[in-house]
Chain A
Amino acid sequence: MITDAAPARRHLAISARLQALPLGLVFAAFFVLPLVLVVVVSFWDYNDYQIIPSFTLRSYTESFEGCLDELPGLCTIFRTYASTARFCAIVWALTLVIGFTVAYFLAFHVRSSLWQMVLALVCTIPFWTSNVIRMISWIPLLGRNGLVNGGLQTLHLMDRPVEWLLYSDFSVVLAFVHLLTFFMVVPILNSLLRIDRSLIEAAYDAGASGRQTLWTVVLPLAKPGIVIGSIFVVTIVMGDFVTFGVMGGQQIASAGKIIETRLAALQFPPAAANAVILLAITLIIIRVLTRIVDIRREL
């Protein structure tokens, strides 16, 4: 028996590997290989008109140039990352609160699953147009002579246009929240729908108030969804440069914008180096998030 079982198991292992092979190849070709190339290029040298395949730390040292001298003040790259992280935190907090509220409403207040589905689909309407068009649509609304300012002036609430509505931190956050709340709604909704209704009753039976039930039962059980949604939001905001550019009037620096500027100047090694730095920081944030909740266990 023992001698028979071992080859059978090995056979099983081989067939399992074969089944995983196609996806593995796609993954290797389109994810691992480009990533390796980016890391390799980040260590190459360059001059004004070409990249030189020889090992150097130049792209990294130049990125952090002067940072030690300026301490305790922040150099440009640190300031940029700090600013990006701040946007990230604000957008994350807003999308979390709004996304959780929407998901909670859909899961617990909408009784029929048909309406749950219809309303969840309504949430996807912003995705029917492209990201750029959606952002540009904000301009006639929020601009100096836009609808909001016009309305405020007509109602005599303001005597001159409000300047901070567009091309400001406010408009960047607004566009992100508009764009990303849905990425919070879906995973949280999924978590909430899997909560057994009798648990809510059991909490009520145990004397829990509505708020206590939310805090001690619903929220802990929604954690996996919250973490997955947070990963979406954090990775998108950290790497974004289009939204920062369009909604910030090209005036707000961001981590993604650094890479884009380097790429536009055809300086591939420093662009790659900044991409690696961004990737490392984002991975650290995700690691912290997944330490809070073991997603693999919760799924």
Chain B
Amino acid sequence: MIPASLELVQLTKSYGANVAVQAIDLKIPGGSYACLLGPSGCGKTSTLRMVAGHEAATSGDIVLGGRNVTDLPPVQRGTAMMFQSYALFPHLTAIDNVAFPLRMRGMGKTARRAKATETLRLVDMERYAGRLPSQLSGGQQQRVALARAIITEPRMLLLDEPLSALDPFLRIRVRAELKRIQRDLGITFVHVTHGQDEAMALADVMVVMNHGVIEQAGSPREIFDTPRTEFVARFIGGHNVISTPAGPIAVRTDRIRLSRDAREDGLAAVVQAAEYQGSQVHVALDAGPGRMTALMGDAAYDADPMRPGDAVRITWSEADIRTLRPSS
């Protein structure tokens, strides 16, 4: 399987007067794990469906592995999609579901069943080959859906919120498994999610979207370290957005220093709450016009515990300031 790179050029989708995706440009290198991240209605799912070929682009181009595929059906694109609801055929057993794309290509029963068994083994589901989807748990259905998507050896796998139907515990296990499978297959994954921790954990390329435009794209580390806009800083979390006369800035919550010395320079604030979270303590602060959060190590906190109502000064070092563009 040769991984395909993806390039979107001025890609736009509008439904009448509603613009879902607004002339976005994006490049995702072949073989990488990309996450489209954003709140609901930000255009991430529309983008994915256009790449998959399930939604026609209003304008712009989709280039896959150097080939313009904007007007091709999914099979000719070499993509496969995993649906949010898994979309398993309820009348077919697990193995026949997985073999379905091969059946559509006219492969004989014995050959396609052999290949389907092999693919089911890859997702550790060969024991359930004869079961109907209704006889499988949510996690098992998802594995079958994944097997059905990869059986045709696509060059790119598109996943629409694949973890949203799972319980939090299973979600973390499955996401590690998705990453492993992506590495094993060596193909490009494009994964839509609204969970920033999911995107951080998985992505090589993280694309933060809002109101139909890309706010920022880059590695998770890049984005967390230097959020470019107010929206990104707020959405990925872990940042305080502070308005200053020169414009909004972001400071990471763990880089905030609190001091009880009222003579010290800095923002005056009142402690509102302290939330114990194990290795860290979340201190919520009321700093005049806005609320802020300080994340303290448990040792530092225990040395001088803050109580609600305590007056403090907030300071941060020059190097931790990130200047933000206001969001579009």
Residues of A within 8 A of B (CB): 196, 198-199, 201-209, 212, 216-217, 220-221
Contact = CB atoms under 8 A, between A and B. Distances in A.
B89 A199 contact: yes
A128 B325 CA distance: 68
Given A205-B54, A207-B152, A212 B85 contact: no
A196 B85 contact: yes
27 contacts: A196-B85, A198-B84, A198-B85, A198-B87, A199-B87, A199-B89, A201-B81, A202-B88, A202-B89, A203-B100, A204-B54, A204-B73, A204-B74, A205-B52, A205-B74, A205-B80, A206-B75, A206-B101, A206-B148, A207-B75, A207-B104, A207-B152, A208-B104, A209-B104, A212-B104, A216-B100, A221-B90
Interface string B35-67: 000000000000000001110000000000000
B81 A205 contact: yes
Nearest to B91: A220
B83 A202 contact: yes
Interface residues of B, number: 23
A198 B54 CA distance: 10
B263 interface: no
Most buried by A among B52, B73, B87, B148: B87
Q: Binding site of B, secondary structure by majority: helix, strand, loop or mixed?
A: loop
Given A207-B74, A208-B104, A202 B87 contact: yes
B103 interface: yes
Contact of A206 (B54, B85, B104): B104
A201 B87 CA distance: 8
B83 A198 contact: yes
Contacts of A220: 91
B105 interface: yes
B105 A201 contact: no
B104 A201 contact: no
Given A204-B54, A205-B81, A217 B74 contact: no
A196 B86 CA distance: 11
